[in-house]
Amino acid sequence: MYCLPGYFNFWKAYCMFQESSRVLLPLASPSLSASNPWFITEPKSLIPHCLMKIIVWNVQVAKKAQLQLKIGFINRTINPHILILTETMVNEQDTQRIIRTLRFRDFDFILLHNHVGGIWLMWKDENIVLDVIAKEHRAIHFSVLDKSTTKQCILTVVYAPAQNHQKNGFWTHLKNLTDIIKLPWCILGDCNEMLHAFEKIGGTQLCASWL
């Protein structure tokens, strides 16, 4: 798993079936200046070879003028097999319209629920076989088969509840899925969880019982 800080505020996950590691890898953006500490002039050369490339990005409303430009940059520099956007906050008509401009032939999505959330799942089928298994208000479960290795796993992308009183039910439900999922399983997305109070900037101050 590779975690990226920086301008886009997304996580890039490399699903690697043969080994697992964690590194910090900065990424360039077309709108960043050279003074930014996460600016890279040759991002392609810093991306290690891997079996599958997945990007999960909390876009905090997908109906933005620069979304197509930024995703175009991601496709040119990283060329992910799977791109997932969370907290899209867009209705179905706009979801269909915007996704079709992003140059992913295959896609699925869940819409916002109670005025929050929304997840877009987009993929390229040249090297993988992706099948959506189930969709919920806050999660999409899907299987991925790597054609080159014939290895398969289950991925779940989530936009977890931020409200404390909804968290236990959500995570208990996911925990119960371990009884029926027998393949390797990875959960990605916006978990809305923090280990330390200093990770939160602004808003209501966290109390110890929430961590």
CATH number at residue 62: 3.60.10
Token code pair at residue 181: 């999922």
Q: Are strands 119-123 and 185-190 parallel, antiparallel or unpaired?
A: unpaired
Q: To which H or E segment does residue 188 belong?
A: strand 185-190
What pLDDT does 9 receive?
A: 36
Digitized pLDDT (tens) for each residue of the chain, 211 residues in all: 333 333 333 333 333 333 333 333 334 444 433 333 333 333 444 455 556 899 999 999 999 889 999 999 999 999 999 999 999 999 999 999 999 999 898 999 999 888 899 999 999 988 999 999 999 999 999 999 999 899 999 999 999 998 888 999 999 999 999 999 999 999 999 998 887 777 777 777 766 666 5
Query: What residue type is 103 in one-letter code?
Result: R
What pLDDT does 207 receive?
A: 67
DSSP summary character for residue 137: S
pTM over cut 0.85: no
- Let me know: does 81 contact 128? Beta carbons within 8 Å: yes
Burial 95-117 (b: 16+ CB within 10 A, else e): beebbeebebeeeebbebeeeeb
User: Whole domain around residue 26: which residue ranges?
Assistant: 2-210
Count of domains in the chain? 1
What pLDDT does 101 receive?
A: 93
